[in-house]
Chains A and B, each alone.
Chain A
Amino acid sequence: MRNFLFFLLVWMLVTGCDEAIDLDLQQAKPLLVIEGWLTNNPDKNYVKITRTVSFYDTITPPAVRSAQVVLTGTDGVNVTFLPYGGNEPDSMAYYFPETPITGTPGEIYTLSVTENGETYQASDTLNIIQSIDSLNSYIDPLEQANPADSGRFYQVLLYTKEPQDTKDYYLFRFYRNGTQERAFPDDIYVADDLLLGDYFNGVRTPVYYHLGDTAKLEMYKITRQSYLYYVDLQVVINNDGGMFSPPPSNPRNNFNQQILGHFTVASLVADSLIIE
């Protein structure tokens, strides 16, 4: 489907032009945005709480630092998350667990956030993930002939099994020399296994690398609920105003009230490769 939308975008840009216009917008009440992450990797767990801003505001969405945040699990975990102590503006909205936690496959985790007398709750399950068999590098001949960035035409190939007896949902993240990269700025790499065979036999991943770069790939197994959140997010980010794509709407999430964001529980594996 993404291919289609990309294709349509290309079509519209071939046949049309665009220019900025001013929208006459109504002021809307700010809404809470809660993002929570719990994985099998203790370094990847956090909660971030912000609020929406008006469309034309030129400020960072404000951090909410007064919330009570508690994570509980069916494995008996009960951890409080505390606001980050530092004062770097980009980190103000983060909450980290008091003691490190590692999610266990098969368990259900619940996030409770209390802010301004209201409690927002969401639950998600940690699914087991297969290991990555290997990564390999590959020269894309088309990119080599006409590279967007000089010398960057290596791609990483992924080899891993795809269990056929379970319904699986994946999220991928790609890093170049430690920085997360995307082929197109608004890409989100999620997949379900409906159309997938039993083996990723060297699937080309989207980011290009230079000789000598360190490529890292993270593969997350997420639940259907989380998968839908990311798919919806991708649709709303890439929306064309409802001409061909569906009319834009907020992503579905697992909170028990009408707020934005999502609580994602995932198992993750990672592998890296130096391009040579």
Chain B
Amino acid sequence: MAQDNFTLSGYIRDASTGEELIGVTVLVDSLNKGTSTNLYGYYSLTVPKGIYRVTFTYIGYEKVMKTYDLTNNINESIELSTSSTELEEVVITGKADDANITEVSMSKNELNITQVKRLPALFGEPDIIKTVQMLPGVVTAGEGTSSFYVRGGSSDQNLILIDEAPIYDPSHLFGLFSVFNADVIKNSELYKGGIPSRYGGRLSSILDVRTRDGNSKEFEGAAGIGSLASRITLEGPIKKDESSYIVSGRRSYVDTFLKLAGEENLVYFYDVNAKVNFRKNDKNRFFLALYLGRDDLNFENIFKFGWGNKTATFRWNHLFSDKLFLNTSIIASNFDYKLGLDDPNQGFLWKSDIKELTAKTDFSWYLNSSTTIEYGLQSSFKVYSPGSMEPTTNTSVFAEYKLDKLYALDHAAYGEIKHSFNSKFDVLLGLRVPYFQSIGPYTVYLYEDNQDNVDINRTGELNFNNWETIRSYVGFEPRFSTRFMLNKSSSLKISYNRMYQNTHLIASGTVPLPFNTWQPSSYYLEPQRADQIAGGYFKNLKNNTYSLTLEAYYKYMHNITGFADNAQLFFNEDLPTEFRQGTSEGFGLESMIEKKKGALTGFISYTLSKSTTQIPDVNFNNPFPSNHDRRHNFNILATYEHSKKWIFGGTFTYGTGRPISIPAGRYMVEGYYSPDYYTERNGYRLPDFHRLDLSATLYPGLKKQRKWQSHWIFSIYNVYNRKNPFTIYTDEKKDQNGDDIPNQKEARMIYLFPILPSITFNITF
């Protein structure tokens, strides 16, 4: 007998700002069936005809319970109010209390922006990347960088998205800060494994950052004055409950410090985020989001250096029916850097950029209460300009010079089905198929031996016309996750994913720099591939107050892009002779205990991991520890709400030192230079890294009823003033006058930050 099924669907929003909420749990109590809102705040649930009590829960918000008589389809948007006890109950994850065990997805961390803002921060500038760097399975190269390394992968293997647009370099001031302004972030998630089929293009992780839409009910603003940068955010309705905007700006003033130091130098960065959205009706929503960020460094008006990201995202969310949700996005992204010298005889300007334009559609089809299907298509056009140089004066010694641009088309189709077999057993099965074409115009040079970077003999060339395919690569990326509930409070999960990466970073240092360039897979570079299997045990204790996560992973990476020893990566017309693609392997154990409720919240995590790399012609073809191979990583992150006036925060991090190559000996050449001589790559380790940071947030004058509120954040970085290793270099040993002592060398360790207090003043109005 056919059963009549009806659908309950709609958006879920914050009652005070109108902001859509991502990941709200919707549960039909009597059936014990549920769903959660998607990345756009939409949910859809299909159940048999009947009368049901439905609960909408989201940590930090008042629970809403409603009763529906489902005799036809109901589309109703729900508004949730922030819970009045918010100051006592800090949000840790944005989801329902036990989502971590009931969801089929694993190896995923959500970053709570409220908490990030209360944690101690370098120079008082809250930064989600610094919190990402503390998560289990993530390691860093040290401090003062915005790069991170996920489960044995290198830092170019992370896809970093802001409103779906890729960010090629997330750093400000060489990584002291990241490009993410905490004031505009709504939601950010890091996927380390079991990566959903809608994401692809990088091997190791996805950091998906979504910005806020702006308050659609009333005007509000926030501003902050920090020791290194200041911020202001304005938002409000254009038309109440229908359209809203948000604009935020941030600028640093490092240069003023340098001016005080008597230097005519300019060093600054800025960010602008802007977004407008328009709800035509509940079936059609439009968004336009822009990001613009730039660093400019200028030394004595002679040496100039700048880089920045620009992104734009246009998004249309459409409901075909209560069960079929469509997101269509058009995304543009541009990263560029410029370097120049002002000089009559040696003046030059050097520019490089990477641009891409993407169109994509994503469908979510809520088939019934047990099955959800997601599928979609995307297409990108990418232009890589590795570099062009022009003389800036007529008398400059430099000639105009351009390296050929590279063009690529990057398509992908995916489909994924999520099914609950019963209340215990969920399976997610997906497939993503990337199809990558490197296309003309381009000239490929053929070499007698393309692995010989000294005696380069070109034997011919292949010329490709506009749009003509140079090489095309198709990949099949199976994705699989399953969850088995052991009991109401614990589950086991297993996942497997394959990822391809067709964008290759051209850099051989440990930490990428803004003046690195990227190249597509093409005639010489083949797609990089990663296979990862992970398993985990998830348990919640004390009514979901504590959650325990244990995960193990193994990752094998094939064709990872490396370079010959002594590779010349800048302005090399014969760059393919430097390419060496090899393999890399990583495995690890991650454990985390998280406290999600109460005055004290935070987590303790420990990761044991190992990562090795093997690159042809490097280290005598032997495997060596990856640049980011750090065996033990232990982190504590906590915030404590002492009262409505005071909130305290603290982080502690410990990690095994990064591997480094150190000399086997030294020698002398030209009767003058004493170079080191090396026998092994990464055979040594820097000393251990550990650091404690503390913060206190003060809300003065809470009792006063006034239009604006303020708070102070006091932060101490590196509380016990540990000299943490940044790197080691060698030099001639110096005597007391700073002169070289003949025939003596020494190793010197660079360390960055001593104990650093900072104060930030914030107001909201």
- Is A248 at the interface (CB under 8 A from chain B)? yes
Q: Is the CB of B667 within 8 A of A53?
A: yes
B567 lies within 8 A of A241 (CB): no
Tell me the residues in window 532-575 of chain B with beta carbons closer than 8 Å to chain A beta carbons: 563, 565-571, 573
Give chain A residues whose Cβ lies under 8 Å from the Cβ of B450.
none
- Residues of A with C-beta under 8 A to B682: 242, 247
Task: Please state if B663 and A55 are interface contacts (CB–CB under 8 Å).
Answer: yes
B566 touches A232 (CB 8 A): yes
Q: Specify which chain A residues have a CB less than 8 angstroms from the CB of B660 in the assembled complex.
A: 241-242
Residues of A within 8 A of B673 (CB): 186, 188, 233, 237
A137 nearest CB across to chain B (Å): 14
Residue of B397, B513, B727, B754 near A197 (CB, 8 A) is B397
CB pairs A–B below 8 angstroms (19 shown): A3-B339, A16-B752, A17-B751, A20-B748, A23-B747, A28-B679, A52-B666, A52-B677, A55-B665, A55-B730, A142-B300, A231-B568, A232-B566, A236-B678, A239-B729, A244-B509, A244-B510, A246-B565, A248-B676
- Interface digits, A4-43 against B, CB 8 Å rule (1 contact, 0 not)? 1001100110011111111101101011010100000000
Q: Give the residues from 161 to 201 in chain A that come closer than 8 angstroms, CB to CB, to chain B.
A: 180, 185-186, 188, 194-201
Q: Which residues of A contact B753 (CB under 8 A)?
A: 15-16
| Contact status B667-A21, CB under 8 Å | no
Q: Are B573 and A202 in contact (CB under 8 A)?
A: no
- A114 on the interface (CB 8 Å rule)? no
Per-residue contact bits, chain A 46-62, to B (CB 8 Å; 1 contact, 0 not): 00101111111111110
In the complex, which residues of chain A have a beta carbon less than 8 angstroms from the beta carbon of B455? 224-225
Q: Is A250 an interface residue (CB 8 A)?
A: yes
Tell me the bound Cα distance from A197 to B449 in angstroms: 30
Residue contact B749 to A19, C-beta cutoff 8 Å: yes
B584 CB to nearest A CB, Å: 15
User: In the assembly, what is the distance between CA of A203 and CA of B396, in Å?
Assistant: 8
- CB of A228 within 8 A of CB of B566, answer yes
Asked whether A1 and B743 contact (CB < 8 A) given A53-B665, A55-B665, A201-B345, the answer is: no
B141 touches A (CB below 8 Å): yes
CB distance from B208 to the nearest CB of A (A): 28
Complex-state Cα separation, A252 to B570, whole angstroms: 18
> B494-521 CB contact bits vs A (8 Å, 1 = yes)?
0000000000000011110101000000
Q: Which of B341, B399, B508 contacts A3 (CB 8 A)?
A: B341
- Verify if A88 is at the interface (C-beta below 8 Å from B): no
- CB <8 Å contact, B570 and A248: no
Tell me which of A19, A21, A22, A57 has the highest count of chain B C-beta atoms within 10 A of its own C-beta.
A21
Q: Is the CB of A28 within 8 A of B664?
A: yes
- Shortest CB distance A176–B (Å): 15
By the criterion CB–CB under 8 Å, are A25 and B565 in contact?
no
Which residues does chain A contribute within 8 Å of B726, judged by CB atoms?
A: 12, 16, 243
B398–A204 touching, CB < 8 Å: no
Report whether B675 and A197 are in contact in the complex, using a CB–CB cutoff of 8 Å.
no
Contact with B along A210-236 (1 / 0, CB 8 A): 000000000000001100100111011
Determine if A115 is an interface residue (Cβ-Cβ < 8 Å).
no
Q: How far is the CB of A133 from chain B (nearest CB, A)?
A: 14
**Which has the most chain B C-beta neighbours within 10 Å: A26, A31, A203, A246?**
A246
Q: B144 near A: Cβ within 8 Å? A: yes
A7 to B267, CA, bound (A): 13
CB of A25 within 8 A of CB of B727, answer no
Cα A236 to Cα B565 in complex, Å, equals 11
Taking the nearest CB of chain B, how far is it from the CB of A268, in angstroms? 15
Name the CB-closest residue of A to B741: A58
Given A58-B743, A260-B667: A197 and B396 interface contact (C-beta under 8 Å): yes
Other-chain contact of B397, A33, A201, A224, A244 (Cβ < 8 Å): A201
A73 within 8 A of partner (CB):
no
Cα–Cα distance between A198 and B391 once the two chains are bound (Å):
13
Give 4 new A-B contacts, CB below 8 A, not counting A240-B727, A241-B729, A260-B677. A4-B339, A7-B305, A224-B454, A233-B675
Q: Is A261 an interface residue (CB 8 A)?
A: yes
Question: Contacts A195-B389, A197-B399, A225-B455; is A251 near B141 (CB within 8 Å)?
Answer: no
A residues near B (Cβ < 8 Å) are: 1, 3-4, 7-8, 11-12, 15-23, 25-26, 28, 30-31, 33, 35, 48, 50-61, 90, 142, 157, 180, 185-186, 188, 194-204, 224-225, 228, 231-233, 235-237, 239-252, 260-262
Q: Is the CB of B677 within 8 A of A250?
A: yes
| Complex contacts, B666 vs chain A, CB 8 Å | 52-55, 57, 61
Beyond A12-B726, A251-B566, is A196–B743 a contact (Cβ under 8 Å)? no
Taking CB as reference atom, which chain A residue is nearest B725? A21
**Residue in B667, B681, B751 whose CB lies within 8 Å of A50:** B667
B454 interface neighbour in A7, A50, A194, A252, Cβ under 8 Å: A252
Q: Name which residue of chain B comes closest to A138, CB basis.
A: B345
- Residue numbers in A under 8 Å from B752 (CB-CB): 12, 15-16
Q: Given A199, A245, A260, which contacts B509 in the complex, CB threshold below 8 Å?
A: A245
- On whether A203 and B397 interact (CB within 8 A), knowing A23-B662, A31-B665, A242-B661, the answer reads yes
Partner of B399, one of A195, A204, A236: A195
Specify the chain B residue showing the minimal Cβ separation from A16.
B752
Q: Mark B713-741, 1 if CB is under 8 A from A, else 0.
A: 00000000001001111101100000010
Write the B165-191 contact mask toward A (1 if CB under 8 angstroms, else 0): 000000000101000000000000000
- Cα–Cα, bound, A163→B325 (Å): 65
With both beta carbons as reference points, the residue of chain B lying nearest to A37 in the complex is identified as B670
B473 to chain A: which residues have CB within 8 Å?
none
Shortest CB-to-CB span from A146 to chain B, Å, is 11
Residue from the list A16, A26, A249 in contact with B678, Cβ < 8 A: A249
Do the beta carbons of A59 and B676 come within 8 Å of each other?
no
Residues of B within 8 A of A60 (CB): 668, 742-743
Chain B residues with Cβ below 8 Å from A225 are 454-455
Assess the B667–A33 pair: CB atoms within 8 A: yes
Q: Is B684's CB within 8 Å of the partner chain A?
A: yes
Bound CA span A53–B141, Å: 31
Query: Is there a chain A Cβ closer than 8 Å to B395's Cβ?
Result: yes
With A233-B675, A243-B727, A244-B513 already in contact, the answer to whether A7 and B748 are too (CB < 8 A) is no
Please determine whether A246 and B508 come into contact, CB atoms closer than 8 angstroms.
yes
Chain A neighbourhood of B668, CB < 8 A: 33, 50, 60-61
In the complex, which residues of chain B have a beta carbon less than 8 angstroms from the beta carbon of A61? Answer: 666-668
Nearest chain B CB to A21's CB is how many angstroms away?
5
**Contact in complex: A243, B510 (CB < 8 Å):** yes
What's the nearest-Cβ distance from chain A to residue B570, in Å? Answer: 5
Residues of B within 8 A of A7 (CB): 299, 303, 305
A195 close to B671 (CB less than 8 A): no
Residue of A nearest to B393 (CB): A201
B676 near A236 (CB under 8 angstroms)?
Answer: yes
Cβ-defined contact, A26 with B743, below 8 A = no
Q: Say yes or no: B566 contacts A249, CB within 8 Å.
A: yes
- Report whether A18 and B750 are in contact in the complex, using a CB–CB cutoff of 8 Å: yes
Q: Counting CB contacts under 8 A, is B669 at the interface?
A: yes
The residue on A at minimum CB distance from B145 is A243
In contact, B341 and A247 (Cβ under 8 angstroms) = no
Contact between A241 and B395 (Cβ–Cβ < 8 Å)? no
CA distance A61 to B745 in the complex (A): 13
B461 within 8 A of A: no
Q: Is the CB of B665 within 8 A of A54?
A: yes
**Cβ contact within 8 Å between A3 and B303:** yes
CB neighbours (8 Å) of B401 from chain A are 194-195
In-complex Cβ contact of B675 among A16, A18, A236 (8 A):
A236
B346 interfacial by beta-carbon distance below 8 Å: yes
Could you tell me if A52 and B398 are in contact, using CB atoms closer than 8 angstroms?
no
Is the CB–CB distance between A235 and B346 below 8 Å?
Answer: no
Q: Is the Cβ of B570 less than 8 Å from the Cβ of A33?
A: no
CB neighbours (8 Å) of B751 from chain A are 16-19
Tell me the complex Cα distance, A113–B568, Å: 30
Chain B residues lying within 8 Å of A262, measured Cβ to Cβ, are: 669
Bitwise, B394-408 to A at CB < 8 A (1) or not (0) is 011111010000000
Evaluate contact between B669 and A35: CB separation under 8 angstroms.
Answer: yes
Residue of A nearest to B748 (CB): A18
Interface status of B627 (Cβ within 8 A of chain A): yes
Q: Quick one: given A31-B677, A157-B345, are A59 and B743 in contact (CB under 8 Å)? A: yes
